[in-house]
Structure 1
Amino acid sequence: MKYTLDIQKAQFDEQGLASIAGWAEVYICDPVTREYVRASLDNVPYQGSVVADAYLDAPELPEKDDIAIIRSADEKSWLYITDHRGKTAYNTENRQPIEIDFIGDLPDTLTLLEPKTEFDKWNGKKWITDTEAQKAALVADADNEKAQRLDEANSTIMYLQEAVDVDLATEAETAALQEWKKYRVLLNRVDTSTAPDIDWPQKPE
């Protein structure tokens, strides 16, 4: 027949050169990262080869999203490697988050496990909370709050006591003075070593 609806397909010899010119299905990878990009068609001339970074063997598509396809360094096969791009990893030394933008396994300095507290330390496999450091920080916070509360109580009592001393205090101020003194006594009795389980006394209104 002088007509055909068939597309002329290229055929290749053992050296990868076209023994018959025509179209070939090719699978292209990125020239820098070698990651598989897409399938395409290449019109290959007689005794020519496919375009650069294109290959005739199709990669097998992975079922999971955390796998990347790359061409091997010798260009003979497709490789399947870990791909965590877009995920958040955490620095095992300082717990700082970082968005992964590279292909391959994570270095030892990164983990996908999220630390739960600012006192977590990496033991090589998981985060372990440094309970002593955490407790010390909680006690320090409680000490600061106790000091602030006592400062407020002392300044309020000083003002009210002065009003009483010069016989200018109202009945409400005289009563308030006693409530603030009771409050200060209770504050001084607070044991900050029990932080964070502290039942702070109610401040007078």
Structure 2
Amino acid sequence: MINYYYDNSNDSKPFTHQLEANDDTLPPDNALRIAPIFKDGYCPCEQDGKWILVEDNREKTAYNIETKEAVKVDYLGKIKDGFTLLEPFECCKWNGEKWELDEEQKSTFIIKQHQLNIADLLSEANNEIDILNDKIELEIATDGDEKLLKKWKLYRIQLKSIDANKPDIELPIKPV
């Protein structure tokens, strides 16, 4: 005889372990003498004196369908409403069954990236212009520094004239 134990402190009463039993005793309150069935993705749980299979997603990652926040599943049973096991991707929204590309979110994301990129390029241009102006002012400029200064100034003007609020932009070529 074998006692198949379950966790009485858990509402789902999942199987925990098995031990040899005495033939002349009854199983304890937290055990059955019926062998549980095991199946991938499920956990045997005691219910009304028998084993049932309950969906087991413990240790998997679920995603909030509103915020996309990832959480570790720590309970037995189906995934809670408002969550999915499907991993979201950049610029997506939940359509009730799966994640799909959100064109508006994608466009907003691309525009924000353009704005950040242009700001970085303008900062680089300003630094190059400042250094070249310093070299000219201190009379330590080389022959090509004045031409390079004009190229950087033109580049800066071209950057400033870009409408970064569009998803499709073309950046000018950086001076060399």
- TM-score range (shorter-chain normalised) is 0.7 to 0.9
Query: Over residues 133-152 of structure 1, what are the superposed CA-to-partner deviations in whole Å (9 max), with x where a residue is unaligned?
Result: 22123212312322342344
Structure-to-structure mapping, 1:1-205, within 5 angstroms: 24-33=1-10, 34-45=13-24, 48-62=25-39, 65-72=40-47, 74-75=48-49, 77-117=50-90, 119-154=91-126, 156-157=128-129, 160=132, 168=139, 169-195=141-167, 198-205=169-176
What letter matches 1:120 in structure 2?
C
SS in 2 for 1:69: strand
Query: Over residues 72-130 of structure 1, what are the superposed CA-to-partner deviations in whole Å (9 max), with x where a residue is unaligned?
Result: 0x22x21111011121111112111111121100111211000011x322232111332
The separation in 1 between residues aligned to 2:130 and 2:18, in whole angstroms, is 83
Q: 2:55 touches 2:77 (CA, 8 Å); kept in 1?
A: yes
The separation in 1 between residues aligned to 2:134 and 2:8, in whole angstroms, is 83
The separation in 1 between residues aligned to 2:169 and 2:3, in whole angstroms, is 70
Give me the CA root mean square deviation.
Answer: 2.7
SS in 2 for 1:90: strand
What letter matches 2:45 in structure 1?
I
Q: How many residues align?
A: 173
Q: 2:66 touches 2:94 (CA, 8 Å); kept in 1?
A: yes
> Given the superposition, is the C-alpha separation of residues 179 and 27 from structure 1 closer, same or farther in structure 2, using an over 3 Å criterion?
same
TM-score by length of 2: 0.80
SS in 2 for 1:78: strand
SS in 1 for 2:29: coil
Deviates more, 1:34-43 or 1:78-87: 34-43
The separation in 2 between residues aligned to 1:180 and 1:111, in whole angstroms, is 51
Q: 1:44 touches 1:50 (CA, 8 Å); kept in 2?
A: no
Instruction: Name which one, 1 or 2, has greater alpha-carbon Rg.
Output: 1
SS in 1 for 2:53: strand
Unaligned regions of 5+ residues in structure 2, if any?
none
Higher relative contact order (CA 8 A, sep 6+): 2
TM-score by length of 1: 0.70
The separation in 1 between residues aligned to 2:80 and 2:138, in whole angstroms, is 75
Q: 2:54 touches 2:77 (CA, 8 Å); kept in 1?
A: yes
Identity %: 31
The separation in 1 between residues aligned to 2:8 and 2:134, in whole angstroms, is 83
